[in-house]
A = this chain, B = another copy of it.
Amino acid sequence: MILRDPVHGLVSFESDEDAILVALLDTPELQRLRRIRQLGLTSLAYPGADHTRFSHAIGAAFVMTRLVRRLRTIHDELPFWQRLTSERARDALAAALLHDIGHGPFSHLFEDALSDAPSHEEWTTRMLLDPGTSVHAVLSRFDSTLPARVAELVRGRHELTYLARAVSGAFDVDRCDYLLRDAHFTGVSYGSYDLDWLLRSLRFGLSRSPNEAPPLAIDGAKGLPAIESFVLARLFMFQQVYFHKSSRSSEWLLSKILGRVRTLLLDGNRVPGVPAAVAAIALEGDAPLGEYLELDDGVLYGAVSAWRNAPDAILADLSRRLFARQLFKTYELYAEQSEPAGRVRALETAREIARNSGLDPEIYVGLDVACDVPFDDSNEPLTVIFPNAVERKPGDVSFLLRRLRGERVERIRLIFAPELRDQIVQALGQ
């Protein structure tokens, strides 16, 4: 199988080991990812960002094929029982392709909005282990213990440390692909880094104990720029895209909508057009796998469309706003306003204004805290390894990473209905 991918160019799955990828791509669980956008509602801010989890899954699997090839050029230095056999390569490829199949509509948003819902990782595990899924059937066809092995690997657990980290770690194939992909489709060029160089710079570190396979490492000072630029790409993508005010406010709005639906359902109201899985999760905190698999962006968007005419005025109002992209506005809190006490005061002020305008302050005003630590090597097993077999932490070697280590990027914002904007800006500020 050969595909054209706008990020990686020619993607070919043609080797014997790749056969599992081709078989898995045809399953309905994977095809469902075609209907789930990688970046949720971000395309409301970046009109190109309509790429799906399906293309990302292919990309992650492709990066894994390249990583496997790289590791094999160097794995002779390992004892033979720690090398990358065909079986282990197959595990890794399957895990890379399947690592995200559990995502609900609009990716992370769904699980965040219905907070006691099973996480997407939980759904991934179910899809892998449930004998009724096609994914399970395909994996089992190759090896009856494969579903369980892949489920473990997706969670970052594998006898070979280096393989576990390649699926789930600070520089895993998931991140390797999504940074490039999100950058390509949003048009934010800052998000690029040098994947060729990163792969070329990988080698094995030192084993922690005689029987344990070593983690991945970076090949001397030469490889540092590759991970420096990777970390910076991530930092920029957070600042520019993942924390973008329109992304955050539209996600916030959808989350309020789903919350409202749940409240209405729990209060015994009938809400038209609620997909079965949403109703089940809202009422019972869980849903049958079959129902969950029916969910996708289109289904949920169709529900929002229907809710525009819901009897509940608030649900109808919120749904109409989202559907027509009349997003809530934001007001960023800096300096003292962003301190805990300042946030509370600012939120209270804004809620008071909402109350006076006749809007429910719990729904039409909120506080949004977005934060990330772009780089922290305190618990990261990836080291930089020098010719004399000395290992050092990246932050100890890199000028840049030392200065970023453990530092936290934070964006704190009030989110509110646009009609409240003038009053809130005047009350708060500058």
Chain A residues within CB distance 8 Å of chain B: 2-7, 9-10, 12, 26, 28, 31, 34-35, 37, 43-44, 46-48, 50-52, 54-55, 58, 184-190, 192, 194, 196-197, 200, 221, 225, 228-229, 232, 235-236, 239-240, 294, 297-299, 301-302, 305, 324-325, 332, 386, 388, 390, 399-400, 403-404, 407, 409, 429-430
- What 10 A-B pairs come out closest when comparing CB atoms? A298-B298, A6-B187, A47-B55, A403-B403, A6-B48, A4-B187, A50-B50, A10-B196, A388-B430, A298-B301
Query: A2: which B residues are within 8 A, CB to CB?
Result: 200
B28 with A186: CB separation less than 8 A: no
Closest B residue to A194 by beta carbon equals B189
A404 with B403: CB separation less than 8 A: yes
What is the total number of copies of this protein in its complex? 4
B47 with A43: CB separation less than 8 A: no
Contact of A325 among B26, B43, B229, B236 (CB under 8 A): B26
8 example contacts (A-B, Cβ-Cβ < 8 A) are as follows: A3-B46, A6-B48, A7-B187, A34-B44, A43-B52, A47-B54, A386-B430, A399-B407
Bound together, the chains give a CA A264 to CA B49 distance in angstroms of: 38
Query: A185: which B residues are within 8 A, CB to CB?
Result: 6, 48, 185
A3 with B51: CB separation less than 8 A: no
Bound together, the chains give a CA A410 to CA B429 distance in angstroms of: 44
A324 with B28: CB separation less than 8 A: yes
Q: Shortest CB–CB separation between residue A201 and chain B, in angstroms?
A: 10
B409 with A10: CB separation less than 8 A: no
B298 with A9: CB separation less than 8 A: no
B430 with A187: CB separation less than 8 A: no
Q: Shortest CB–CB separation between residue A381 and chain B, in angstroms?
A: 23
Query: A50: which B residues are within 8 A, CB to CB?
Result: 37, 50-52, 55
Bound together, the chains give a CA A48 to CA B299 distance in angstroms of: 21
Closest B residue to A28 by beta carbon equals B324
Query: A228: which B residues are within 8 A, CB to CB?
Result: 236
Q: Shortest CB–CB separation between residue A171 and chain B, in angstroms?
A: 17
Query: A44: which B residues are within 8 A, CB to CB?
Result: 34
B54 with A51: CB separation less than 8 A: no
B188 with A4: CB separation less than 8 A: yes
Q: Shortest CB–CB separation between residue A76 and chain B, in angstroms?
A: 13
Query: A388: which B residues are within 8 A, CB to CB?
Result: 429-430
Q: Shortest CB–CB separation between residue A349 and chain B, in angstroms?
A: 18
Bound together, the chains give a CA A143 to CA B18 distance in angstroms of: 40
Bound together, the chains give a CA A386 to CA B26 distance in angstroms of: 27
B43 with A48: CB separation less than 8 A: no
Q: Shortest CB–CB separation between residue A227 and chain B, in angstroms?
A: 12
Bound together, the chains give a CA A50 to CA B9 distance in angstroms of: 17
Instruction: Determine which residue in A189, A229, A236, A407 has the highest number of CB atoms from chain B within 10 A of its CB, and name it.
Output: A189
Q: A399-B239, A403-B404 are in contact. Are A55 and B51 (CB under 8 A)?
A: no
